[in-house]
Amino acid sequence: MRYLLMTMLVVLVSRASIEAGADTPGFGEVGSYPVEQYQIEVFADGLDSPWDISWLQNGDILVSERGGELRLIRDGILLNVTVAGVPDVYTRSQAGLFEVQAHPRFEENGWVYLTYAHGTNRRNTLRLARARYIPTDEGAKLEDLSLLFEADAFRSSAAHYGGRFVFLPDETILLTSGEGYAHRHEAQRLDNHFGKTLRLTDAGKPPADNPFFDVAGALPEIWSFGHRNHQGIVLASEGIVYSNEHGARGGDEINIIKPGANFGWPLVTWGVDYSGAQISPYAETAGTEQPILHWTPSIAPASLMYYTGNAFPEWKGLLFSAALATRELRVVDPAEPGVTQFSLLKELDVRIRDVAMGPDGNIYVLTEGADGGQVLKITPNA
């Protein structure tokens, strides 16, 4: 009994220090930009669970809806017709249609890439596909659809897919794949795609210079491992790749993604389980990467943006994380992550799913609400 009480005391102390954010990187006060510095307008309305917004080089704007529809904004107007030719999407809970992006040489090849959940209630996983984007008088359609990659991360749950991706300068793709919620310990194994960052060619194949390409028992697509559910990934200056990641109850993170690195989940975490139970007694240990900052309590990060535009020159080089639980954009200077963070759009009191920079340098966000979803445009206040 004495040993049991001492163990319980250690667990409670560890949990309390984690929840309080004591001695943790990036923990600090959160300020707010004065709302008079920017103005907000509704750019598009009437969306159903919008998940991602992306600009094509021909001027069209695509918005994915988690329910499996791809919407088109043309000349500033959200068209009533949806884009035809979208692949079959498995939709339940967090499963659905995720990100859409144009190939870096879209003007030459017309390719757009999509991530989505596919399968059944008993067996489903993450997929990456591409198709040729064909504008029409009525809207647009996808042709020559081909499945490029299917993650070896099959689950009966409908949670933690990741599904975000970014093109690197060599036109390879970094794709996030979550650990399926019920498969957390698989994130530490290299024989599956649960809880991994994956690097693929633009044809969906593993490049030969991936860190585990020739490692026996490891899947060659793996770039990094030990992730929970990373919901944003961006390429910043000097080739640095940042990713934000959901913790459980606390322990949301921003990480610098490195090839071959182990980001620790679930061996180390700054959070606890939703029940309050301890996941791990360790917040850090040898052989695992620490985040440049973590959010405890959780903000529930969604997408991530690295700002390079001219509309807000004072915001260049900052990271913007959409936040679902705290209903805001959380802004961080990656060069000084331990310094005060800032909050934008809290006055809206709405869940923010996606944040992106448009070709005009303005900031666009996708919101989720009881009355549907919107695209909001954030511009400087003259």
b/e burial code for range 37-68 (CB count within 10 A of at least 16 → b): ebebeebbeebebbbbbbbbeeebbbbbbbeb
Residue 22, exposed/middle/buried by CB under 10 A (0-12, 13-18, 19+)? exposed
Does 160 qualify as catalytic in the annotation? Answer: yes
Nearest CA-CA partner of 348 in 327, 331, 368: 327
Quick one: CA dihedral 224, 228, 232, 238, positive or negative? negative
Q: Of the residues 103, 118, 160, 246, which is catalytic?
A: 160
With tokens 């991706």, the residue in question is 165
Residues 82 and 48 sit within 8 Å (Cβ to Cβ)? no
Nearest CA-CA partner of 295 in 31, 33, 26, 23: 26
Q: Which is it for strands 140-150 and 124-135: parallel, antiparallel or unpaired?
A: antiparallel
The full length of the chain comes to 382
Quick one: CA dihedral 276, 277, 279, 283, positive or negative? positive
297 CB contacts (<8 Å, ≥6 apart)?
A: 19, 249, 250
In whole angstroms, give the CA distance from residue 48 to residue 287.
43
In whole angstroms, give the CA distance from residue 346 to residue 348.
5
Which active-site residues does the annotation give? 160
